[in-house]
Amino acid sequence: MATVELTFSALPAHVRTARLVATAIARRTGVEESLLDEVRLAVGEACSRAVEAHRVHCPGEPVRIELRDDSGRFEVVVTDVAPSDDIEADLPSVVDQPLGMMPDPLAAGFGIAVIAGLADDVEVQASPKGMRIRMSWPAAANGLAAPA
């Protein structure tokens, strides 16, 4: 298993960097080209959510992202230390709501709903100590460890 870890200050400008790094490593790991847009968007959503949560609760704390090649899967784990509860992890049902009743997308965990629609394997763990979002996609069996 090969792992890349990245921590970054909770600033919106850094989310793009995290997306670019994740996409580059996904490609290197052997994730299909057709899935790279999904990886980019899902990682961006997870990091955006974490950054916004940190800006509210703990702006001085960094957000952590781990990217690993694990037995033919490309796995990404985004971890924050902002207090969250299980309600936020519930996937909102916005489709049937009239526009006037539609909640603010970020506040309602819209990003997590998007991630759930993109990654075929998603696990969200929310606790008072923070949120951990793990997601994975199929990759080449020897992706990240293979020589260039």
Partner 1 sequence: MDLKLDHRTEDRLTIVEVEGEIDVYTAPRLRELLIDLVNKGNFHLLVNMEKVDFLDSTGLGVLVGGLKRVRAHDGSLELVCTQERILKIFRITGLTKVFGIYASVDEAKEAHGRDK
Given the rule CB under 8 A, which residues bind partner 1? 12-13, 15-16, 19, 37, 40-41, 44-45, 48, 51-52, 94-96, 99-100, 102, 104-106, 110-111, 113-114, 117-118
Contacts of 131 (CB under 8 A, 6+ apart): 49, 50, 53, 79, 80, 82, 84, 88, 89, 124, 125
Which residue's entry shows tokens 């990217």?
67
From CA 141, how far away is CA 115, in angstroms rounded? 24
Which residue lies nearer to partner 1 by CB, 112 or 144? 112
Which residue lies nearer to partner 1 by CB, 3 or 17? 17
Least Å distance, CB 95 to partner 1, is 3
* Spatial CA neighbour of 67 closest among 138, 141, 2: 2
Least Å distance, CB 2 to partner 1, is 27
Least Å distance, CB 80 to partner 1, is 14
From CA 82, how far away is CA 53, in angstroms rounded? 6
Least Å distance, CB 92 to partner 1, is 9
Which residue lies nearer to partner 1 by CB, 2 or 116? 116
> ∠ at Cα 31 (25, 34), nearest 5°?
115
Which residue lies nearer to partner 1 by CB, 107 or 141? 107
CA 56 to chain centre: 18
